[in-house]
Structure 1
Amino acid sequence: MGNSVFYFDDFCLNPLARELSRNGESIALAASAFDCLVYLIEHRERPVGKDELISAVWGRDDVSDNLLAQTIVRLRRSLGDAGNEQRCIKTVPRVGYRWMLDTQVVSQGSTKQAAAQSPTSNVEAISEATTLKPLRSKQVRRPLLVALLATLGLAVAYWGWQFHQAKPAATAMHFEQGTAIVLPAVVNASADWSWLRLGLMDMLSSRLREANVPTENSRNVLNLLNRADAEGGAKLSSFALVVTPNVTLSDNTWHVHLDAKSREGRIWQAESSSANVLSAARAASDLLLAQLGFGGESKPGSGTSRQEYLLRVEAAQLAGHPDLAHELIDKAPPDVRETPEFAVIQADFHCDEGKLEPCERALNDLLKQLPADKQPLLRGRVLTSLWYIYYRKHQFAEGEAALTEAVRLLQARKDNEALALAYLDRSHLEFFDGKPDEATADLGLARINYKLAGDTVGQAKVDTAMGEIAMRRGQFDQALSLEQSAYEHYQRMGMRQLLSTPLQGLIMSHKMLLQYADELEASDRYWPFDEKNMEFCDDNVRSELVILRALALADSGRTSDASTLLQQLNAQPKPDDDPILSAWANILLARFALERGETQAAQAWIAKAFTGSALDQDDDQRDYAEAMLTKVNVLQRAGKLDELKHTVATLQAWVGHRKELDDWTDIFVLRANAAQAWSEGRREQALEQLRLAMIKADKLGVPDLIVGVGQAYALALLSAGNVDQAVAISGRLSTWSNVDWRAAWVEACTYRALGQMDAWEKQRNKAQTLAGDRMQLTEPTLFSF
């Protein structure tokens, strides 16, 4: 690519700046389309084969011809080459494509030109050049000696100029308002070196982070560039610094050129040459860091073939080629296999594949080989990787201890990215261990370290986790803000595989706040799966999203549609299905059937839900108590008082064995007690249980809990003749009577009790509209607890 700028028609193409403009106005292109255009223009003297173009642009050979054809169509459209004219890009049958326009090439004539005139660009490269090419004769003629001395003089002068250029800036570039990113390298070498495209990208990103430049994670950048729309490339301007590597192999010498551009338009360039590509890349990055004011901090590297091989494996994983990565791991030479770095990559590969047993075995074996005093960084990373194993085994305390050791080791190494992940994973274990305060503190530490590392997606992950804690505390307004922020950032960065978690948080937050239209809209973002490109979700995540979609439909008055969805879900079980999810689908089916007045169907569904021990294994005590309350309501409506009494006794025995209960769980238990007391004619005891539940609901301040308790309490009061108290509760619920059928129904029933028949009829119709396909609302005496 060099430092050349290409002019054709009214267009200007600057490859290094990654800019295409027409009459001075910038034209947004997707990253792949931009690279395709550059490659065709640089090879305009001949047709470029499809396979060659795919390899050059995408760096792999599994890209379809159809994707290439679509890229060419979009490119032609951007250049005004419409229809069958093919004025700019011509299709060459059975070959590929060729650039057709007359193109003027203007050299920018800066560092790159000077480097082209000099055999090397730093002391290391000069040393390598002289050792690789020794003089063959001991006797050198005087003219040749003079010429050689002159050449060396020029080289030393050029090195001095480079050193002067690379002096640390008087003021280092600041990154308070953004991060740096490194783009995939443009590789001008044979296909054997295509791995450098992502390998160098990841290596250079690590070099920048080591020098305390906040730099976005390579996988995050690739997700951004792989977005289907054209915004991915245009949004590069939002980053504080964009580094574009260009690497060329010429006469057995690697030339690595780095072009860096700030958001404000400042440009830095650095270049180095060496017989070893990794040495050249490190030297070039050192020069660039010095210009940015971050010089002298980066760590040395060996540039060995082992490091190259490990980078190839990482590049295959980054490119989304697990089969290739697996092949490279299987065929790794002995000198690579003996390194602990390879063992870590191999163990992580098992974990990424979901093979938990070999993953755990490999990680534990590694710990025995990585003493804290000799391999603290690798040991810290391995301990962090074990968190999910501890989570799956419910060994929270053991996991927290392992992550605490990881934090200590990583703090000493000052690896912000790894340290942030350790804090984040420890917070997950603390959250599941019922320690929200400790989890919140760790999330704060994780955020700071992600910010220092420049990982904005990591910061969004912290937002997601903070949202989950906020929901646990009943702070759903705060959760909405956090989850929405994370969702929007994942969208911007193309992180589709992370979208499901904030989506679940958004749906549940809207539900608990009784924002049903927003709840349904949030589920529309992923439904239906095949139309919203959510096919990457695993079976359990898909099941969770289906259940949430059903809840959103039911809350919008479509319980029949919700039931159909849940029945379809349970009719297609997967081998790895979480039995708790299947049980919850049946619980919701029972609840919806009960609300439609289908008592017999509700009994069948609730019996199916409690078959086996799935619900007993649910770690969330709130979920278990809510499931038991649903069963109590079904039995109460069916008049099966003996079973109801037994169920409440089981719930109370469960409560007795719990070390700690919260107000949320207590509300479900109190409502179940009220249902039993009411069924047995003990009305005062039932009303007292509901009063206590109402106090706890008001204390938590969660609208869904307030309305759920308030409906049962108000209708029970009316049935007992306590109209004034019922009116007071109705007034408490009236805030939501325009959106929630339960609140509207309570208000209608209080109007009827007060003899306000016109108001009763009007409000009853509103309640029925909000209830949708639920049973006809006619008598206030029929209600659930």
Structure 2
Amino acid sequence: MTRPIYRFGDYRIDPSARELQHAGELVVLSPKVFDSLAYLIEHRDRAVGRDELIAAVWGKADVSDTLLGQTVLKARRAVGDTGNEQNAIRTVPRFGYRWVAPIQVEAAAEETPAATAETERMAAETAAPAATPSPSAPAVAPPVRQAGANFRPRIAAFAAFAAALVVLSAAGFWWHARRDATVPATPATTAQTQPTPDAAAVLPVDVDAGGEWTWLRLGLMDLVATRLRNAGQTVVPADNVVALARENGGNGAAHRVREATGARLIVLPSASRSGSEWIVHLLLRADGGDREVEARSTDVIEAGRAAADRLLAVLGKSPAKLAPDAPDASLAERLSRAEAALLTDDLDGARRLLETAPPGAQKAPELRLRLAQIDFRAGQFDHARGLLDALLEEVSEETDPVLRARILNGSGAVAVRQDKNADAERDFGEAIALLENRNQPAALGQAYTGRGIAYAQQARLDLAAADFSRARIALELAGDTLALARVEANEGIVDGKRGRYADALSSHELAAQRFERFGALNELILTLANAAEAQLALLRPADALATSDRGWALLGRLENPNTRHSFQITRVETLAENGRLLEARALLRELLGAIPHDGDPAMLGRVQAVQARTDLLDGQPAAAAALASAALERLSAPDYLRDRAGAWLTLVRALRAQGRDEEAAVEVGRLAAWTATLSRASQPLAAALVAALAEAEQRWAERRLDEARDAYEKTLRLAEQQAVPGDIAEVVISYGSSLITDGEVQRAAAVVGQVARWADRDFGCALLQVRLYRALGHEDAWRAALKQARALAGERSIPANLTAPPEHPVATRETRRISQENQVADAARTLRE
């Protein structure tokens, strides 16, 4: 009996067994996602309608478009596809979906479990060693070589991306938060405790007028959204909507916005001109049906405001009164046009509009704040600082607390970009104090996010985590899904710094999903890199490679060189951890040539640290020592404590490999002294763990074995306390290799057993199993371990001596002592006789 098996790329799907595999590993899917995937593949000869797919998978008709869209999105991700690329599942507009990737079909015979197990057993028994060692080969490789078998010290991983993404998130601050009316304060209620109303999303305006009015598409959209927001209606921020609606308009954009943001109210605006009169029409699409309002005026801004007010009446809300200093119609139009330019990243156009305003209008705080925001986005931080400081002198808490808070948010964002984190902490703190008793969740969420970033960059991780949690609540109330994604990414970074990699990975995966929906390429690529780092720390190199591949496919569309270089550094490590050494080293050479020596010192330091580890593994300890020493000088910022400690460990190992033992001992002392100055809260156990491992290895090299064992045991307890698989493996590989080298095999067995659970996916752990079983003389276990190591090796070599079957168990120190005593006794007895 046979069943069809479908193959595409590295994937294999078996509908009968309900299994999807990627590169031989099972991909876990929910039943509906699997059924959707299988149905599209089985009917790949044609497009499948949405109703047909719903009926086939759910067996009923009352399934929402949102649920179907989410299910197809998960199916795409399961096979390495996205809604943007559509290389496997293509959307057929206004109809459904179609499978488009090439498929190979094979007929597989049904196997009994017993037959499968017997086949695997026979394959294991017939596996042969790859090479025969020379008789003079040593029993084991030196422990310093083995300690680096997985290309890099894993205890130095992950912190590298914190600065890049944390600072990046400041770019989302405050620039889109325009105000033309005051919102009454609500002193009895904070933003954190208010119930979340149904969110509304205002889509770009369909403009029927001459080309000079194209700015209305986004400018009028923002004006209507601001008018609704100021009346207390939760409105999805304009940058969220623009990101989601960039590819299509109308119903298609409405569906994307609703799916990504959860907004239940969709506003579809249009503006047309009839003679001298403007007609602004708003269609409200809600679950209960459609409602329409319209307003007319000779001034398009006034027509937009009037239409928004009529829509508020439909929603049961009253318009907010205009503030006494609200912009007049001409200034309001200029601000709306500038907003439209900003939403399309036309910074020069926005600046020209504002700088050519009449002299009186140029004094308006709103216009000057907008100019500061443009400077910020253009990277002109000093000029932005001058404008913001002048505004803070003029706008007091008494005159306009909300506007002052917005200015403070901008000031804090500039301080973050200038690495003045204490100043940023002060500015955001004052903004929080002004906002927390007012109904301003968007600005409050920005303030908490900003202060969390300032805390994180000062390595005050508990405070950062608390502020990110508060920001999450405020931004959920504000309906700002894109800002929420930035918070989730930052929470993942903080969790990674605290060694909580499983939690970090969950946050990064959720943030990546949101960034992908919004087309936020820069943030998406950095988040994928952070996710891959977390997977490496969890000893999931194959998963890390799959995550890295997603980012690698997008890298050609990226313009930001810092983001590209950051991603490439993690790409090097991910390739190496999967045994793809040629690619890793080629990319590393490219990075060394691309990053200027007078550019970002931390970026260059990270690359030098990776190259130093590579040189040490390639038998070039002098070059490794020089690069590691240079990296130490460049990795001094709090964000790079783990990287700096890892570079220090490479330096110590490289010095010992050259026979410079006294210098190595000095560096071990310097590393210990440096880590003693760090607070536990800044990098829990991370740097201390590296220092402890360096000390243990140094004691062993000096043959102070009792002290070395005690130091190793202490280091292992530290690693177990942190419970990061990569950290535990690094310590066990070093300790276990040292014990095996010295013939303490029984003690080694107890140590090595702690990483046996990862030997099926991590090359370093697998190779350590080979060493142990060979030293113990257990041929069957050695053969199975060798097969596993070969499967994981890729281009990494297995020492020739480990491929020779063990002849007999290696004697332990106690066994050798007893044997020697027996030989002495036999000799004495012979002499007496």
The answer to whether 1:624 aligns with 2:647 is no
TM-score calculated relative to the size of structure 1: 0.73
Q: Give the C-alpha shift of residue 430 in structure 1.
A: 1.6
* Structure 1 counterpart of 2:235: 215
Q: Give the C-alpha shift of residue 349 in structure 1.
A: 0.8
Indicate how the Cα distance of structure 1 residues 601 and 656 shifts in structure 2: closer, same or farther if over 3 A, else same.
closer
CA distance in 1, matches of 2:653, 2:424: 39
Q: Is the 8 A contact 2:645 2:691 kept in 1?
A: yes
CA distance in 1, matches of 2:544, 2:684: 26
Letter in 1 for 2:293: A
Which of 354, 361, 377 is the matching residue for 2:402?
377
Q: Secondary structure at the match of 1:620?
A: helix
* Structure 2 counterpart of 1:335: 360
CA distance in 2, matches of 1:770, 1:598: 25
Q: How does 1:61-100 map to 2 (within 5 A)?
A: none
1:364-401 deviations in whole A, cap 9, x for unaligned?
22211222211322221121122243334544333212
CA distance in 2, matches of 1:231, 1:735: 48
The answer to whether 1:590 aligns with 2:612 is yes
Q: Is the 8 A contact 2:536 2:574 kept in 1?
A: yes
* Structure 2 counterpart of 1:267: 290
* Structure 2 counterpart of 1:573: 595
* Structure 1 counterpart of 2:334: 309
CA distance in 2, matches of 1:245, 1:190: 17
* Structure 2 counterpart of 1:707: 729
Letter in 2 for 1:293: G
Which of 370, 373, 395 is the matching residue for 1:348?
373
After alignment, is 714-723 or 761-770 more displaced? 761-770
* Structure 2 counterpart of 1:771: 793
Indicate how the Cα distance of structure 1 residues 682 and 768 shifts in structure 2: closer, same or farther if over 3 A, else same.
farther
* Structure 1 counterpart of 2:132: none
Q: How does 1:328-727 map to 2 (within 5 A)?
A: 328-529=353-554, 531=556, 533=557, 535-536=558-559, 538-574=560-596, 577-599=599-621, 601-603=623-625, 605-610=627-632, 613-617=633-637, 619-660=639-680, 662-727=684-749
CA distance in 1, matches of 2:321, 2:751: 67
* Structure 2 counterpart of 1:224: 244
Q: Secondary structure at the match of 2:552?
A: coil
1:305-349 deviations in whole A, cap 9, x for unaligned?
111111111111112222211322332221221101111111111
Q: Is the 8 A contact 2:381 2:414 kept in 1?
A: yes
CA distance in 2, matches of 1:199, 1:578: 37
Q: Give the C-alpha shift of residue 477 in structure 1.
A: 1.6
Letter in 2 for 1:620: Y
CA distance in 1, matches of 2:399, 2:714: 59
CA distance in 2, matches of 1:573, 1:437: 33
Which of 265, 282, 287 is the matching residue for 2:310?
287
Q: Give the C-alpha shift of residue 550 in structure 1.
A: 0.4
1:190-229 deviations in whole A, cap 9, x for unaligned?
3332211111101111122222322211111111112489
Q: Give aligned-pair identity as a percent.
A: 32
Indicate how the Cα distance of structure 1 residues 202 and 575 shifts in structure 2: closer, same or farther if over 3 A, else same.
farther
Q: Give the C-alpha shift of residue 568 in structure 1.
A: 0.6
Indicate how the Cα distance of structure 1 residues 626 and 388 shifts in structure 2: closer, same or farther if over 3 A, else same.
farther
CA distance in 2, matches of 1:388, 1:297: 29
TM-score calculated relative to the size of structure 2: 0.69
Q: Give the C-alpha shift of residue 274 in structure 1.
A: 2.1
* Structure 2 counterpart of 1:206: 226
Q: Secondary structure at the match of 1:527?
A: helix
Work out which structure has the larger RCO, using CA pairs closer than 8 Å and 6 or more positions apart in sequence: 2
Letter in 2 for 1:194: T
CA distance in 2, matches of 1:721, 1:521: 40
* Structure 2 counterpart of 1:276: 299
The answer to whether 1:256 aligns with 2:277 is no
Q: Secondary structure at the match of 1:246?
A: strand
Query: Rg larger in 1 or in 2?
Result: 1
CA distance in 2, matches of 1:326, 1:185: 23
Q: Give the C-alpha shift of residue 600 in structure 1.
A: 5.1
Indicate how the Cα distance of structure 1 residues 768 and 371 shifts in structure 2: closer, same or farther if over 3 A, else same.
same
Q: Give the C-alpha shift of residue 177 in structure 1.
A: 9.1
Q: Give the C-alpha shift of residue 487 in structure 1.
A: 0.9
The answer to whether 1:194 aligns with 2:214 is yes
User: Alignment length, in residue pairs?
Assistant: 611
Give the unaligned 5+ runs of structure 2.
1-48, 52-89, 96-193, 803-833
1:2-41 deviations in whole A, cap 9, x for unaligned?
xxxxxxxxxxxxxxxxxxxxxx999xxxxxxxxxxxxxxx
Letter in 2 for 1:625: A
Q: Secondary structure at the match of 2:551?
A: coil
After alignment, is 294-303 or 756-765 more displaced? 294-303
Q: Secondary structure at the match of 1:639?
A: coil
Q: How does 1:148-187 map to 2 (within 5 A)?
A: 179-187=199-207
Indicate how the Cα distance of structure 1 residues 251 and 303 shifts in structure 2: closer, same or farther if over 3 A, else same.
farther
Supply the RMSD in Å over aligned alpha carbons. 2.9
Which of 235, 241, 250 is the matching residue for 2:265?
241
Q: Give the C-alpha shift of residue 279 in structure 1.
A: 2.0
Q: Secondary structure at the match of 1:506?
A: helix
Indicate how the Cα distance of structure 1 residues 285 and 462 shifts in structure 2: closer, same or farther if over 3 A, else same.
same
Q: Is the 8 A contact 2:629 2:647 kept in 1?
A: no
Letter in 1 for 2:430: E
1:123-164 deviations in whole A, cap 9, x for unaligned?
xxxxxxxxxxxxxxxxxxxxxxxxxxxxxxxxxxxxxxxxxx
Q: Is the 8 A contact 1:306 1:335 kept in 2?
A: no
Indicate how the Cα distance of structure 1 residues 208 and 501 shifts in structure 2: closer, same or farther if over 3 A, else same.
farther
1:727-779 deviations in whole A, cap 9, x for unaligned?
12222101100111111122112212221134224423432442333343246
1:587-632 deviations in whole A, cap 9, x for unaligned?
111212333444455345435535xx31234543222212101111
Q: Give the C-alpha shift of residue 420 in structure 1.
A: 0.9
Letter in 1 for 2:294: E
Q: Is the 8 A contact 1:506 1:522 kept in 2?
A: yes
Indicate how the Cα distance of structure 1 residues 603 and 774 shifts in structure 2: closer, same or farther if over 3 A, else same.
farther
CA distance in 2, matches of 1:770, 1:593: 22
CA distance in 1, matches of 2:402, 2:596: 39
The answer to whether 1:745 aligns with 2:762 is no
CA distance in 2, matches of 1:716, 1:272: 82
* Structure 1 counterpart of 2:125: none
Q: Secondary structure at the match of 2:397?
A: coil
Q: How does 1:110-125 map to 2 (within 5 A)?
A: none
CA distance in 2, matches of 1:575, 1:329: 39
CA distance in 2, matches of 1:405, 1:331: 33
Q: Is the 8 A contact 2:446 2:471 kept in 1?
A: yes
Indicate how the Cα distance of structure 1 residues 659 and 740 shifts in structure 2: closer, same or farther if over 3 A, else same.
closer
* Structure 1 counterpart of 2:808: none
After alignment, is 310-319 or 632-641 more displaced? 632-641
After alignment, is 713-722 or 545-554 more displaced? 713-722
Indicate how the Cα distance of structure 1 residues 677 and 25 shifts in structure 2: closer, same or farther if over 3 A, else same.
closer
1:221-278 deviations in whole A, cap 9, x for unaligned?
111112489975642453411101112222322221111101x361111111223222
Letter in 1 for 2:444: L
* Structure 1 counterpart of 2:130: none
Q: Is the 8 A contact 1:636 1:644 kept in 2?
A: yes
CA distance in 2, matches of 1:554, 1:252: 68
Give the unaligned 5+ runs of structure 1.
1-23, 27-73, 80-173, 781-785
Q: Is the 8 A contact 2:488 2:511 kept in 1?
A: yes
